[in-house]
Amino acid sequence: MTSNSAAPAPPFLHGRVAMVTGGGSGIGRACALALAGAGATVHVVDRDAEGAKSVAGEAGGRSHVADLADPDAVASLPADVDILINNAGLQHIAPLTEFPPERFELIQRVMVTAPFLLLRRTLPHMYAHRWGRVVNVSSVHGLRASPYKSAYVAAKHALEGLSKVAALEGAPHGVTSNCVSPGYVRTPLVEGQVRDQADVHGITPAQVLTDVLLARSPVKRLLEPEEVAAAVLWLCGPQSASVTGISLPLDGGWTAG
Ligand code: NAD
**Angle, helix 26-37 to helix 49-59, in steps of 10 degrees:** 20
Q: 3-state DSSP call for residue 134?
A: strand
Substitution site in 20, 21, 27, 216 for ligand 1 pocket (most atoms within 8 Å of beta carbon): 27
CB of residue 90 inside a 6 A radius of ligand 1: yes
Q: Closest Cα to residue 141, out of 14, 251, 2?
A: 251
pLDDT for position 4: 59
Angle at the Cα of 136 from the Cα atoms of 132 and 142, rounded to 5 degrees: 150
CB of residue 22 inside a 6 A radius of ligand 1: yes
Tell the burial category of 60 from Cβ atoms under 10 Å away from its Cβ (0-12, 13-18, 19+).
exposed
CB of residue 170 inside a 6 A radius of ligand 1: no
Q: What is the residue-level pLDDT of the chain in tens, covering all 257 positions?
A: 445 568 888 899 999 999 999 999 999 999 999 999 999 999 999 999 999 999 999 999 999 999 999 999 999 999 999 999 999 999 999 999 999 999 999 999 999 999 999 999 999 999 999 999 999 999 999 999 999 999 999 999 999 999 999 999 999 999 999 999 999 999 987 887 788 788 888 999 899 898 889 999 999 999 999 999 999 999 999 999 999 999 999 999 999 99
Substitution site in 20, 25, 74 for ligand 1 pocket (most atoms within 8 Å of beta carbon): 25
Distance 200 CA to ligand 1 centre (A): 24
Per the DSSP assignment, residues forming a β-bridge with 136 are: 86, 179
pLDDT for position 5: 67
Distance 9 CA to ligand 1 centre (A): 34
If one counts every other C-beta atom within 10 angstroms of the C-beta of residue 95, the result is 9
Alpha carbon distance 216, 232 (integer Å): 24
pTM exceeds 0.85: yes
Alpha helices by DSSP H, 7-108: 26-37, 49-59, 71-75, 101-108
CB of residue 254 inside a 6 A radius of ligand 1: no
CB of residue 69 inside a 6 A radius of ligand 1: yes
Tell the burial category of 132 from Cβ atoms under 10 Å away from its Cβ (0-12, 13-18, 19+).
buried
Alpha carbon distance 56, 77 (integer Å): 15
pLDDT for position 198: 85
Ligand 1 atom nearest 52 alpha carbon? 9
Q: Closest Cα to residue 143, out of 154, 151, 133, 134?
A: 154
Alpha carbon distance 203, 199 (integer Å): 7
Residue boundaries of the structural domains of the chain: 17-185+223-256, 186-222
Distance 165 CA to ligand 1 centre (A): 23
Distance 14 CA to ligand 1 centre (A): 27
The CATH architecture to which 17-185+223-256 belongs is 3-Layer(aba) Sandwich (3.40)
Q: Are 39 and 16 in contact (CB under 8 A)?
A: yes
CB of residue 252 inside a 6 A radius of ligand 1: no
Active site residues: 152
